[in-house]
Chain A
Amino acid sequence: MKNQPIITTKNVNFYYGAFQALTDITMDFERNRVTALIGPSGCGKSTLLRLLNRMNDLIDQTRVEGEVLFEGRNIYEPDVDPVEIRKRIGMVFQKPNPFPKSIYNNITYAPRLAGIKSKESLDALVEDSLKQAVLWDEVKDILGRSAMTLSGGQQQRLCIARALAMKPDVLLMDEPTSALDPISTAKIEELVDELKESYTIIIVTHNMQQAARVSEYTGFFYLGKLIEFGLTEKIFTNPDIKQTEDYITGRFG
């Protein structure tokens, strides 16, 4: 059953200065699905992820060609405010990066700046987001404590809760478990499974088994090109392209 795409890239090229990091990327990211982007280091998968919420804007001397359509609208149009895009497309990073604030304030930080002021709504938001991130039971009594005192896995779930507090449509995850132990990893993976009910998730991972476990669609990138993109089951049992097969099976040239 195919869902409507929420994000579509059309012939996207991306350059860091003279270096072309992505070549002719065209793909659909379906709504309420988990799409995994895999490939060796430097293949462009993280670059693509950061293109989708315009995080690459922060790097000097980069250039985008082609279109990135979010709900049908090219987010690289000059009149699009990247801040608005990032409110709708949240991101979770490789290393847990909570702010040096309390757990409570980590979550309310962005919503407050976005105009939510009342104590009740903020309290509700904190509880909601932490529950969605399956962290509520662990931290409900220590909301005032610094986020830095949490374990790595808890910090990462806090970062997910923090992103969810903005009620985004899409959640981009850039190797969200690469710094975590297997149990924390399993918790995050389970969380991803639950979150796709309400969010579209795009996850970059170096762990191929993780891609196989959590995603419905997988895109394999190599040297800045999308080599193969399709159902995860197909990619992992019977990919069409030899390069994909070699990578999946651990035959690196």
Chain B
Amino acid sequence: MEELRHTSREYEKELQEIRDGLLYLGAKAEKALEMVMQALVGRDANLARQIISADDEIDRLDIDLEEKCIRILALRQPAAIDLRFITTAIKITGHLERIGDMVVNMAEKVIILNDFPQLKPYIDLPRMGEISREMIRNSLDAMVHQDAKLAVKVCEEDAVMDQLNEQIFRELVTFMLEDPVKIQVCLYIMQISKSLERIADHAEGIADMVVYMVTGRIIRHQSVQAKDT
């Protein structure tokens, strides 16, 4: 991460553990997201159930990481980049855990949707899944490489996600207007879309924290244009 290592090797090791833990948790969340999209498209209720039970591990990893961070805050009194990294890590792990929860929500809807006939082939939802997965991956890459530019790019993609969500919403509204019987299915799909949009928001939150970690600027609640300065 940087050329100079810590004078305390134990401290260096602890920081590395947190970095590794975040990446592992990120990979888990991303994998869960990938699987839930598969379950959705493939109408696979079993897979969806697996995903739901796998969330326990994500919760456990989240708590474990947070405890490690608190321990470093208490024992090492980190400053500057280390301080920013630890505060960032605490927030990232929270975001990743929430992503895991969103995935669980989606999996539950997938199971319910299987009781209904398929409304139409999914096109935009898998795209949203892809984009949000890429956002998660890029935001974590940005953290590892301390790349604020890449992080800002993640934030920009969130706009695409909002658009897609909006588009799906309008599409589903037309379905519902056409045939009230489909309203229930549409609402479930809408919730899935909303979950994906929320996942993207969390990915953006991660990216915001990476920008803070690298530059010291807190850019949350700013427009994308303002972030990229």
- Tell me which residues from 19 to 58 in chain B have a Cβ below 8 Å from any Cβ of chain A: none
Contacts of B8 in A (CB 8 A): 250
| Nearest CB of B to A19, in Å | 26
Say whether A43 faces chain B, with CB atoms less than 8 Å apart: no
| In the bound complex, CA of A239 to CA of B84 (Å) | 11
Contact, CB under 8 Å: B81 / A252: no
How extensive is the interface on chain B, given as a class? 10 to 19
Contacts of A234 in B (CB 8 A): 216
- Tell me which residues from 144 to 185 in chain B have a Cβ below 8 Å from any Cβ of chain A: none
Say whether A245 faces chain B, with CB atoms less than 8 Å apart: yes
Contact, CB under 8 Å: B7 / A252: yes
| In the bound complex, CA of A149 to CA of B78 (Å) | 39
Say whether B223 faces chain A, with CB atoms less than 8 Å apart: no
| In the bound complex, CA of A30 to CA of B80 (Å) | 24
Given contacts A236-B83, A237-B216, A238-B216, contact A249 B78 (CB under 8 A): yes
| In the bound complex, CA of A209 to CA of B84 (Å) | 16
Say whether A119 faces chain B, with CB atoms less than 8 Å apart: no
Contact, CB under 8 Å: B11 / A250: yes
Contact, CB under 8 Å: A253 / B4: yes
| Nearest CB of A to B104, in Å | 36
The secondary-structure label for the interface of chain A is helix
Contacts of A239 in B (CB 8 A): 80
| In the bound complex, CA of A233 to CA of B21 (Å) | 29
Say whether B79 faces chain A, with CB atoms less than 8 Å apart: yes
| In the bound complex, CA of A248 to CA of B84 (Å) | 12
Contact, CB under 8 Å: A250 / B216: no
Cβ-closest chain A residue relative to B83: A237
Contact, CB under 8 Å: A237 / B7: no
Contacts of A237 in B (CB 8 A): 79-80, 83-84, 216
| In the bound complex, CA of A250 to CA of B5 (Å) | 9
Say whether B82 faces chain A, with CB atoms less than 8 Å apart: yes
Contacts of B4 in A (CB 8 A): 246, 251-253
Interface residues of A (CB under 8 A from B): 208-209, 212, 234-239, 244-246, 248-253
Q: A237-B80, A249-B82, A250-B7 are in contact. List 6 more A-B contacts (CB 8 A).
A: A212-B79, A238-B216, A246-B2, A249-B78, A249-B81, A253-B4
